């Protein structure tokens, strides 16, 4: 059976109009926000979304608001044509790819000059964290903070990251106006932050967390994996392998987090990785645990070469 | 002609359902957010809204998120029955009063205990600004910051104020899902912040700024005016009178802000008021001006007795 036709929309107004007209016809809309370079992990999010709504929108946008000027925005992998081909081949099809050029360009020259100038990184108060948006001088100044959840784990080493994620997701919600949105539990903290934001800001949108997808060797699927050399990839398996061991150990009654964490950190370190963090936290509050007494999740971020990988495993004992 | 029937809605879900069903019938919705104790200023916002939409929702909710624990949340005037009567008598009528009990209660016991406990004011990092929401321990932790515009004027003396305003307005937007929302230019900085937030977060909502309304003696209308004694009220006229004089002087060519400000500050001071700020700022960026060269607005906040009053005047030279 031929798939339905895939529509590519680049304009905000056109996107909102499409959604409103679909809703006026009684259709429900699912949104899967991505930064492109789609892999099977993304495709599983899309399949999840299709189960909860009549129509499916996949957004592809590399968000400068979640990268600091020192991070890998400029080298973030992209392949729009390849992505579109993958989406065309999804069973049952996808309705819209929303692929905006710049979601922070508000089309007013004075903002790009006056306000933009003022927001240049050099002019900002010393010590203030900025993203590539302020650095680009686009005059955007509204940010959403999920004050507690944004702090630990990835938030410690990437201070503008979750501010940028929460903000771009809100923008996408306001443009696409979906009924349902799907986020991968691979980015566990991100998923919890979006859930909390949707609750706290009363968005009329259901958030679905889709399970993490692994390659057959166990490595969590990520767009950044392509930047690993074959050797680095081999070594990076130490992350998932040590996490699986820790989960098994916990299920057998080893519940002291210090021991479980030491073992994971040592394994990754011996494989040549640099651990950013390895934390066992409460599944909801993301607060660090000393002993696993309630549903927990073991979250790891580690560098192999120039690539920062994240992985996690839920532990329900 | 009898007015249409006024519906009182207290639940978030019921409110959203009403809006979605109205929109499905092709109707447009205007929202006028208020904290109640309605006066002619509010009624003029409602009239403005009625000109831009088929249906009108007035929200009445005193938002703890924009008050610091030391401010006047507990004594903020309220008269819900009086408000409803006023709304029933508006020419052409109002469709819905949205009057929620607590927009920060998410109905989960664990948030009210665990997270709530953690957010109690004593436990927070020292020096961190908190509103009555954190103080009440309700587990809400998502806040919208409009980073530049929230800083000066009222933001200097009320550090949680605009964070709270931007957040509650977003919540109301997400619950009511209006096409149009009206804000009074009496709260000039608030109006500009909401405009900027709507642009930066891509809300599909048109923001209308309604002109400030004055009593016949010139005092800007405010719910807080009822708390002025007759003597204080008489003295408080020094605000509008000195602002009118400054505007006239500027229009006659006196464009140096220092002189204009000195004169307003002196007049209010001599009348027995305590000036919080008196600033002449750019109408868009709200940055302080030394000389009036572009469209400006003269903003004043001053205390008379226990009452803090704000007023402003646009100066287009």
Mutate to test the interface with A, among B201, B284, B285, B286 (most CBs of A within 10 A): B201
Q: What is the pLDDT of residue A138?
A: 72
* pLDDT above 70: residue B110: no
Are the beta carbons of A201 and B171 separated by less than 8 Å?
A: yes
**pLDDT < 70: residue spans in chain A:** 1-3, 108-127, 137
Q: What is the pLDDT of residue B56?
A: 98
- Residue B42 is a catalytic residue: yes
Whether B21 contacts chain A with CB within 8 A: no
* pLDDT above 80: residue B123: no
Tell me the per-residue pLDDT of B236-286, one tens digit each, with 9 for 90 and over.
999 999 999 999 999 999 999 999 999 999 999 999 999 999 999 999 999
Name the B residues in 74-133 with CB < 8 Å from any A CB. Answer: 103, 106, 110, 114-115, 118-119
CA–CA dist A115, A118 (Å, integer): 5
A246 within 8 A of A263, measured Cβ to Cβ: yes
Task: Provide, rounded to the nearest whole percent, the portion of chain B with pLDDT above 70.
Answer: 92
The rounded mean pLDDT for chain B is 91
Whether B167 contacts chain A with CB within 8 A: yes
Q: What is the pLDDT of residue A151?
A: 92
Are the beta carbons of A141 and B118 separated by less than 8 Å?
A: no
* pLDDT above 70: residue B120: no
Nearest C-alpha neighbor of A264 from the set A237, A288, A289: A237
Tell me the per-residue pLDDT of A48-79, one tens digit each, with 9 for 90 and over.
999 999 999 999 999 999 999 988 898 898 99
CA–CA dist A227, A225 (Å, integer): 5
Measure CB to CB from residue A143 to each of B147, B177, B203 and give the nearest one. Answer: B147
Tell me the per-residue pLDDT of A125-172, one tens digit each, with 9 for 90 and over.
555 778 999 877 678 999 999 999 999 999 998 989 999 999 999 999
Mutate to test the interface with B, among A202, A206, A281, A294 (most CBs of B within 10 A): A202
pTM of the predicted protein model: 0.92
Measure CB to CB from residue A202 to each of B144, B149, B175 and give the nearest one. Answer: B175
Q: What is the pLDDT of residue A272?
A: 97
Q: What is the pLDDT of residue B111?
A: 43
Nearest C-alpha neighbor of A210 from the set A79, A55, A42, A73: A42
pLDDT band at residue B213, thresholds of 50, 70 and 90?
Answer: very high
Nearest C-alpha neighbor of A291 from the set A260, A245, A248, A252: A260
CA–CA dist B117, B108 (Å, integer): 13
Average pLDDT, integer, range B21-50: 95
Q: What is the pLDDT of residue A71?
A: 87
CA–CA dist A296, A284 (Å, integer): 8
Helices (H) and strands (E) in chain B, counts: 11, 10
pLDDT band at residue B122, thresholds of 50, 70 and 90?
Answer: very low
Q: What is the pLDDT of residue B108?
A: 61
Average pLDDT, integer, range B210-233: 94
Whether A141 contacts chain B with CB within 8 A: yes
Q: What is the pLDDT of residue B114?
A: 43
What are residue B275's DSSP bridge partners?
B302
CA–CA dist B250, B247 (Å, integer): 5
């Amino acid at each position: 059976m031929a798939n339905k036709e895939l529509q590519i929309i680049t304009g905000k107004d056109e996107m909102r109009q499409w959604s409103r007209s679909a809703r006026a016809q009684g259709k429900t809309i699912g949104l899967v926000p991505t930064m492109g370079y789609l892999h099977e992990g993304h495709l599983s999010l899309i399949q999840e979304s299709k189960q909860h709504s009549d129509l499916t929108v996949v957004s592809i946008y590399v968000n400068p608001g979640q990268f600091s000027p020192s991070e890998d925005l400029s080298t973030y992998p992209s392949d729009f044509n390849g992505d579109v081909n993958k989406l065309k081949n999804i069973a049952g099809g996808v309705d819209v790819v929303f692929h905006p050029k710049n979601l922070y360009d508000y089309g007013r020259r004075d903002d790009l000059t006056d306000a933009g100038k003022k927001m240049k990184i050099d002019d900002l108060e010393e010590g203030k964290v900025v993203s590539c948006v302020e650095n680009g001088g686009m005059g955007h100044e509204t940010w959403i903070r999920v004050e507690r959840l944004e702090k630990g784990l990835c938030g410690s080493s990437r201070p503008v990251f979750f501010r940028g994620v929460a903000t771009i997701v809100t923008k996408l919600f306001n443009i696409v106006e979906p009924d349902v949105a799907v986020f991968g539990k691979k980015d566990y903290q991100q998923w919890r932050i979006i859930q909390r934001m949707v609750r706290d800001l009363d968005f009329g949108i259901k958030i679905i967390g889709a399970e993490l997808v692994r390659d057959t060797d166990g490595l969590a699927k990520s767009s950044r994996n392509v930047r690993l050399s074959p050797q680095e990839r081999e070594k990076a398996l130490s992350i998932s392998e040590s996490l699986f061991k820790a989960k098994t150990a916990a299920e057998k009654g080893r519940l002291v987090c210090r021991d479980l964490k030491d073992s994971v950190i040592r394994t990754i370190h011996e494989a040549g990785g640099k651990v950013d963090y390895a934390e066992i936290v409460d599944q909801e509050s993301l607060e660090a645990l000393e002993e696993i007494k309630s549903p927990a999740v073991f979250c790891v971020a580690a560098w192999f070469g120039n690539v920062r990988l994240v992985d996690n495993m839920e532990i329900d004992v």
